[in-house]
Structure 1
Amino acid sequence: MAKKLTRRQFMKRAFATTSTVIIASSFGYWYARYFEPKQLEVSSHLIKHPAIPKQFHNVKIVQFSDTHVGHHFTLEQLKKIVDKINDFKPDLLFFTGDLMDEPNKYAATNHLIPILEQLEAPLGKFAIYGNHDHGGYGSEIYKKLMNQTGFTLLMNTSEEIHIEDSKISIVGLDDVMLGRPNFEQAFKDVDPSSFTILLAHEPDIAERAEEVGAHMQLSGHSHGGQIQLPFFGPLITPPLGSIYYEGDHLIGPSEMFLYVNRGLGTTRLPLRFLAKPEISIFTLVST
């Protein structure tokens, strides 16, 4: 027969259980607010494809995304990220959108210029619009800022990167949520035989990207859900960032390589849980 609990024992156990829940939830909040947002993860990937020319073998690409400067992401944090990226010595550098959380309300825009100017990539620095870059009448602010800092801003346009007599193509799609994306315009000057990398802020357009001939798509936007639960996944994902919210995927018959970067900053809530901030490194391998 089970031993009957006394009132004193019951109250003692109830107090212990309640205290444990409070301590656990407090620790969880502290971890998500102050610890994990600063736990930068660097992911490395080898990209093998027969369309990659031998001259581009071992070319290093670094992607960073979604800094959301101004929403608990400071200029000092951005400086550290810039130093980190330069330590990797990228050949190509891609920023996939959402530089400032609210461009029209961020008062220190001019302070971003000398920081972003320090980024170095001999084959070029490229950027695209995210929804926050367009939001709040920020389109021209972001455009001017990226042009001033040596980035080529791609908006439904493409660029060819040449090494000797070989090339690859970089395509940038305007933001799908708040911009005017146009796949036909973006790909119209792309040589179908060249290895083609699409920069698109929202990842869930990947099927369309594969259809128009992209070999690789780099995206951000979702922050990995920002808050995930074990065995459940992200609690909330944004529009067009719900199907593919983090990591690598092979899309369609051609098996286009999609990578969804979790970004560096936060939005809405300054929390990250099981969704560490990320910088991605891709090394091209000619086969």
Structure 2
Amino acid sequence: MPFRNIAVGRTEEVTHPDNLKAALAEFISTLIFVFAGQGSGMAFNKLTDDGSTTPAGLVAAALAHAFGLFVAVSVSANISGGQVNPAVTFGAFVGGNITLLRGILYWIAQLLGSTVACLLLKFATNGMTTSAFSLSSGVGVWNAFVLEIVMTFGLVYTVYATAIDPKKSNVGIIAPIAIGFIVGANILAGGAFDGASMNPAVSFGPALVSWNWKNHWVYWAGPLIGGGIAGAVYEFVFISRTHEQLPSTDY
């Protein structure tokens, strides 16, 4: 049956050394990712006198997030699975690939990693404010909500296909690259509209440090729904039901 592995987990999981190490890996990876992504935006603003909304700024953001996520996933993949995103963790839970308690432990680590990254950036830049995600002029909250659902669906679907699927075979080797690429591509597609978060942790740190919560719910609800749908679809269609790889002549 699909989703048969969904479980709350045992309380011992919260204090198990291996899970604590995995949570620490998530903390460090999220810190690395947010520091690179937010830092590149702050640097671009300083160099161009707040030109982050230009096409060059969008490309710079896409590259910085793609490279940063590639590294963040790579360095924690063998320890925690390299999730670096509450939406990915939630999608893994929906598919029965992580328990609820371990997922909550990961969430705490991811949110702390993002917050510490933003605090370090604020200190290192002599008080420059980290930019909270916001909607562009003419973009409504429901437009952004749908964008976040679709973009995060693509991200979590990619994670499932390249990193979680037990039949991934050698495709797993390129998982960090594929995950980084889909985030970079989605930023190019949606960054001009709502910032293209796809990650509640990435949105939470800047919002907390700058204390700007306007429309913040969009950056939680959209990614969690998109990630949950991707986890459910991939688990139900491609993992839970027996499927055989097509022979090469059928491609």
TM range (shorter): under 0.3
Bigger strand share: 1
Larger RCO, structures 1/2 (Cα 8 Å, 6+ apart): 2
Structure of greater Rg: 1
TM-score, L = length of structure 2: 0.25
Bigger helix share: 2
TM-score, L = length of structure 1: 0.23
